[in-house]
Structure 1
Amino acid sequence: MGYREVAEKDHHARTMSLGAEKPNTKTSPLPPSKKRTSSWSDIWLKNTTPLKNVIFAMQLASPKDSKFKPTHKTLIPNWANIDRTSLLSDEILLKILAKLPESQRKPNSLVCKRWLNLQGRLVRSLKVLDWSFLQSGRLISRFPNLNQVDMLYGSFISDQNSGILLSYRMFSFHTGSEFSPKQRVSESNFKLLPPVVVDRGLDALASGCPNLRKLVVIGASEMGLLSVAEECPTLQELELHKCSDNVLRGIAACENLQVLKLVANVEGLYSSVVSDIGLTILAQGCTRLVKLELCGCEGSFDGIKAIGQCCQMLEELTFCDHRMDGGWLAALSYCENLKTLRFQSCKRIETIPGPEEYLGACPALERLHLQKCQLRDKKSVRALFMVCEAAREIVFQDCWGLDNDMFRLASTCR
């Protein structure tokens, strides 16, 4: 018997023996020790929620201007067209933009409308050049977090189409072509908005910016300043141009005011009167003043005495082109905590100093600054040095009338 026959016979015997056995319809379960462990793919496919979120975040809409629009959404994003900052909240993006340099704010505001609005929320200080921008409400909506506003230049009625820019002292405004270089500057060239219009702007500003801390305004009335005092309790610094005694009633309502500058009279442009009445109203209302500047103001002994007695925290006092009556210099001794006394552009210091025994001294005074002042009257200069005998620093800058005798009078300041 050959090898092939033996193999066939053996295969036939095995087939018969298997057919004799009963078929086993049920498979025996695997032992617990040999059970197959779950793979990572099984766990991932069972919890498909994170996968759906990832797919939803990666899907991109087809471009509208494309001629060949895909019929399905793709999972491969076009990162060049994605605004990744859209995933950030406004608070986080504001913190990032606030850390950028000041020079990059304007370019950043041109990125998109959202960045434009966020950059507006970062602006704190602003000069109003167009009054209609304030009156229409766009200023408040564009810059809701302002705390320093300068309304001075926006209050001028100027010819914006004119290329002639007229600058006089602290003011600059456009004027018409009829102005001649030989013509003297007067109120005819200097036109301001009516007080009613200025008050409306102040009312809108105060209601939209309750955290206002510094304000510069010209030509306002008592009612306009009262609205600011009521709506802006944190107002600390105020610069008021073209003010009068009646206007100062509105300032007296600013209880937290610390820095105040009053410009009553500017020669050649406008004139208003601030007398002892206004200074007394101011002193009784603004008791927390630390710094006071009086420009072109009138007054006398009584007005300065009221300021010294009521404003006990006053540390710096400035007189610019003052029009004080004789005898006012003796009232400076009531400013017990005054540390700095300044005179700027004053044609005279004192007309009638009075007896020397009535001239008291400022006990806490440390600095006396004289800039662009006429110092030709020896009696008034001597009275000034007697009032400032406690000064440790005296500065003369661009003053007229100084000679050896004048400096000899300063020997009283030991």
Structure 2
Amino acid sequence: MAAHTRIAGPITLLSEDLVALILNKVTDLDDRNSCSEVCQLWLKVEGISRSSLFVRKPGFPLTILNRFPNLVQFQTTQLTTDSDLEFIARTCPKIEDFKVADFTSPEEGFLGRNGLSALACGCPKLSKVSLIGDKIGNAGVVELVNSARSLSSLELGHDLIGDPALRAIASSSITVLKLKSCCNVTDHGLGCLATGSTSKTLRKLVLKMCGKITDDGLKDLKKMRSLEELTLSWCQGEITDVGGMAISAIRNLKELKLNALYGLSDLTVSALAFCKKLQVLDLSGCEGVTGPGIRAFSIISA
């Protein structure tokens, strides 16, 4: 009886380079996962060629990252300890965009100085970092900022973050800073940003639900030469027209969001009407602003 000869199909005859070219055209995540199931070659090449990964599943094994050594973007909803960060830095050294949104109990682990230093040093092109949740404190942020030489965008979200973190950030050259629910950030922290290196580099500053910011902090922001976008949303500190009119002195301001600042009135809006570069103004929830204040824009532009 003649032996059966297995004939390779067209898919199995493709080289790694050709498979990589095909996979580069596949952007949908589900489709890429399907491609990885074709055969061992496609599984290997799909992992090597993938640049972005978002892990949502709780308790995922970090060893899965061994398949993706060329990741540029990595996002997860659970990252527990410094050793996790150290493993990521060793396994995926090309990461540029890193995001963690973890709200598990701090007792399960904490992202401290050692882990964030390892991430910054092990991923030399790291430029965009987002750390949301109760896994991060001031010491970790200080270490990250001091070690990540390419850092340009930083997002932080938790009440453990305060002025010590902002003092370190002020010595950097980042262009985007987003702070959400950082209720220990005060006017002193804003003053550091306005007098440090960031006074020349920061283009976008987002402050949401940072309740200790007052008029005194906003007065310092006029020193920021490059600031083009400013968000002050639900910052329920002592912010009045004094701070609002101080903001109007920011020369390069193009976009301003003042959501739910109840202490502002038409005086602030009338002052903002003289901001020649202002293109976007959001006053939703500002109950003290009325029609006459808004009409100041039409009068100035006439």
Q: Would you say same fold, with TM above 0.5?
A: yes
Q: Which residue of 2 aligns with 1:165?
A: none
Distance 1:231 1:209 in 2: 8
Cα drift, residue 200 of structure 1:
1.3
One-letter amino acid matched to 1:305: G
Matched, 1:393 2:275: no
Matched, 1:121 2:9: no
Q: Which residue of 1 aligns with 2:236?
A: 347
Q: Which digits, 9 at most, give the CA deviation of each residue in 1:170-218, with x for residues without a partner?
A: xxxxxxxxxxxxxxxxxxxxxxxxxxx4211111111101010111124
Q: Which digits, 9 at most, give the CA deviation of each residue in 1:199-246, with x for residues without a partner?
A: 111111111010101111245212211110110110010011233322
One-letter amino acid matched to 2:117: L
Q: Which residue of 2 aligns with 1:146?
A: 71
Distance 1:82 1:318 in 2: 57
Q: Which residue of 1 aligns with 2:156?
A: 262
Distance 1:101 1:355 in 2: 45
One-letter amino acid matched to 2:2: P
Matched, 1:248 2:145: no
Kindly tell me: are residues 299 and 364 of structure 1, through their superposed partners in 2, closer, same or farther at Cα, counting changes over 3 Å?
same
**Larger Rg belongs to:** 1
Alignment map for 1:47-58 (pairs within 5 Å): none
Kindly tell me: are residues 321 and 390 of structure 1, through their superposed partners in 2, closer, same or farther at Cα, counting changes over 3 Å?
farther
Q: Which digits, 9 at most, give the CA deviation of each residue in 1:262-284, with x for residues without a partner?
A: 1123xxxxxx2412x22111121
Distance 2:67 2:244 in 1: 60
SS of 1:227's partner is: helix
Matched, 1:206 2:99: no
Alignment map for 1:7-406 (pairs within 5 Å): 69-70=1-2, 81-100=7-26, 102=28, 104-130=31-57, 132-135=59-62, 137=63, 139-151=64-76, 153-155=77-79, 197-217=80-100, 218=102, 219-241=110-132, 242=134, 243-252=136-145, 253-265=147-159, 272-275=160-163, 277-284=164-171, 286-287=172-173, 289-297=174-182, 298-308=184-194, 309-311=196-198, 312-326=200-214, 327-348=216-237, 350=239, 353=242, 361-371=249-259, 373-378=260-265, 382=268, 385=271, 389-396=275-282, 398-401=284-287, 402-404=289-291, 406=293
The answer for unaligned runs of 5 or more in structure 1 is 1-68, 156-196, 266-271
Kindly tell me: are residues 409 and 387 of structure 1, through their superposed partners in 2, closer, same or farther at Cα, counting changes over 3 Å?
closer
Distance 1:374 1:412 in 2: 24
Q: Which digits, 9 at most, give the CA deviation of each residue in 1:131-166, with x for residues without a partner?
A: 65344x2x2222222111112x224xxxxxxxxxxx
Kindly tell me: are residues 352 and 363 of structure 1, through their superposed partners in 2, closer, same or farther at Cα, counting changes over 3 Å?
closer
SS of 2:205's partner is: strand
How many matched pairs?
Answer: 284
% same residue: 21
Distance 1:354 1:133 in 2: 47
Cα drift, residue 387 of structure 1:
11
Please provide the CA RMSD for this pair: 3.2
SS of 2:38's partner is: coil
One-letter amino acid matched to 2:113: E
- Greater relative contact order (Cα 8 A, min sep 6): structure 1 or 2? 2
Distance 1:391 1:347 in 2: 27
The answer for unaligned runs of 5 or more in structure 2 is 103-109
Cα drift, residue 101 of structure 1:
5.5
Kindly tell me: are residues 388 and 394 of structure 1, through their superposed partners in 2, closer, same or farther at Cα, counting changes over 3 Å?
farther
